[in-house]
Amino acid sequence: MFLSVWNYLRGYVTIEVSGFSVERFMNLASHKGIYLWDIQRNRAKVQMKVSIAGFRLLKNCAKKTKCKVKIIEKKGWPFIAYRYRKRKVMGLGLLIFFSILYILSSFVWVIEIKGNQRIPTEELTKALREYGLKPGVWKNKIDPANIEGLLMSDFDDIAWTAVDIKGTKVTIELTETVIKPEIIDQSTPCDLVAEKTGLIVSIATRAGTPKVKPKDVVKKGDLLVSGELIVKQDEEGTVTKYVHADAEVKAKTRYEITYDQPLSYIEKQYTGEVKKQYSIDVLDRKMNLFKPRISFQNYDKIISSKQLSLTKHFVLPIEGIVYEYREFIPVTHKRTLEEAKKMAEEEIKKRLLEQIDPESEIVSNDIEFYPDGEFLRAKAVAIVIERIDKPQVIDRRKVINGTEGKNTADTN
């Protein structure tokens, strides 16, 4: 990239060399230190590029090898300057233009944030503004290390971040922390309670005292497995111990889902008529260049924009915006009852899968349909076998007070 810009600034020509000693011609040029590039052979002729200074030295090489040199194209700033040497106003305009570009390159115009998934971009942008990093700020005022430290201290979900300044663009890359699952300490006394209402199918207890058995009906919040264990019970009293109940309790649960499937739908038939509106956004100020009169009754509005940039990292605070209006004719189509039923079944299945755990088993899914004007109403009753056990910490006061007799409760 840099070499291309340098060659353009000093100027170069594309030449075509023909003769019986083209290779010798190129070797002589190389021996004299003349740099040739983009060499392409076309039968007996060879095309290449050479700088203006190098081209002047090729005359002797052509004379010794009896090769013919023909100029195909002239490129670069020197040729443009020579062509417009008498146009002083244009030269002054170019000078002002490049001066403005140089001034604009001293500021930040684009801020890109990468890596955030849980943290909203709006929150990060707001925080960066408070730190002094926003479009239009002078680059020398930005302290990347300070911004990185502020982000790490203000956002607990950020594990790592880096601020990179290139051209007029600032890129902020960050890595979020891993979400810690909610884990109850195994040493904490816990009961297991029902998370949902259902019919117990199976219970496998690893720790604690089961309070239900298969075929029992439980409601949400009912005690399934108690963390209270009776260690000893005699005439002197009862000795109890409190543990972290551990079990796998599965039950049949019921889900009811209602969905209305429209019996008709609208298809857009585009006429091919399109009108465009152009505008420019300069420093968050929009200027409309051309705004046509939209006479379409039905149309889609499509907005596309492009940021003006000279290179990948040299982005300017100028954005071109195109508003495209596409006319369409709405055509109403009717669905058959079979089509509507199939679509309703798929939607109900999708909603059911969103509500249950992937390891759950769908035993049955009965759907009844009721035509209701422009809709087909579907009512589904699904029976699912799933885990319903949920840990619930035992009240510490209960552990301390114990039950009748001696108390050996583990209060750790």
pLDDT tens-digit profile, the chain (412 residues): 567 778 888 889 999 999 888 888 888 988 888 889 888 888 778 999 999 988 988 888 888 888 899 999 998 878 877 777 677 676 677 778 778 777 888 888 889 999 998 999 999 999 999 999 988 899 888 899 999 999 999 998 899 999 999 888 899 999 998 876 666 567 789 999 999 999 999 999 999 999 999 999 999 999 999 988 887 777 777 778 888 999 999 999 999 999 999 999 999 999 999 999 999 888 778 888 877 888 899 999 999 988 888 777 788 888 889 999 999 999 999 999 999 999 999 999 999 999 999 999 999 999 999 988 889 999 999 999 999 999 998 875 555 554 443 444 343 3
Residue 291 is part of which domain span? 265-332
Instruction: At 64, list the tokens.
Output: 């010794």
Q: Which of 113, 125, 108 is nearest to 167 (CA)?
A: 108
Do 282 and 247 sit in the same domain of this protein? Answer: no
pLDDT at 401: 53
Task: Examine residue 362 and state whether it is found in any structural domain, yes or no.
Answer: yes
Instruction: At 325, list the tokens.
Output: 């209006």
d(CA 176, CA 300): 38
Task: Examine residue 95 and state whether it is found in any structural domain, yes or no.
Answer: no
Do 297 and 241 sit in the same domain of this protein? Answer: no
The CATH number that applies at residue 127 is 3.10.20.310
Boundary residue ending a domain (176, 204, 230): 176
Do 327 and 340 sit in the same domain of this protein? Answer: no
Do 9 and 69 sit in the same domain of this protein? Answer: yes
d(CA 229, CA 205): 13
Do 370 and 312 sit in the same domain of this protein? Answer: no
Task: Examine residue 342 and state whether it is found in any structural domain, yes or no.
Answer: yes
Task: Examine residue 288 and state whether it is found in any structural domain, yes or no.
Answer: yes
Question: At 101, which helix (H) or strand (E)?
Answer: helix 88-104
Do 224 and 291 sit in the same domain of this protein? Answer: no
Do 22 and 63 sit in the same domain of this protein? Answer: yes
Do 169 and 199 sit in the same domain of this protein? Answer: no
Beta bridge partners of 326: 274, 300
Residue 213 DSSP code? -
Do 280 and 324 sit in the same domain of this protein? Answer: yes
Q: How many domains does the chain have?
A: 5
Q: Say if strands 110-114 and 169-176 run parallel, antiparallel, or are unpaired.
A: parallel
Boundary residue ending a domain (122, 144, 176): 176
Task: Examine residue 319 and state whether it is found in any structural domain, yes or no.
Answer: yes
Q: Which of 290, 287, 286 is nearest to 278 (CA)?
A: 290
Task: Examine residue 67 and state whether it is found in any structural domain, yes or no.
Answer: yes
pLDDT at 406: 42
Does the model's pTM come out above 0.85?
no
Do 236 and 272 sit in the same domain of this protein? Answer: no
Write the CA distances from 341 to 8, 35, 347, 379, integer angstroms. 68, 75, 10, 11
The CATH number that applies at residue 7 is 3.30.70.340
Give DSSP secondary structure letters for 223-251: EEEESEEEEEEETTEEEEEE-B-EEEEEE
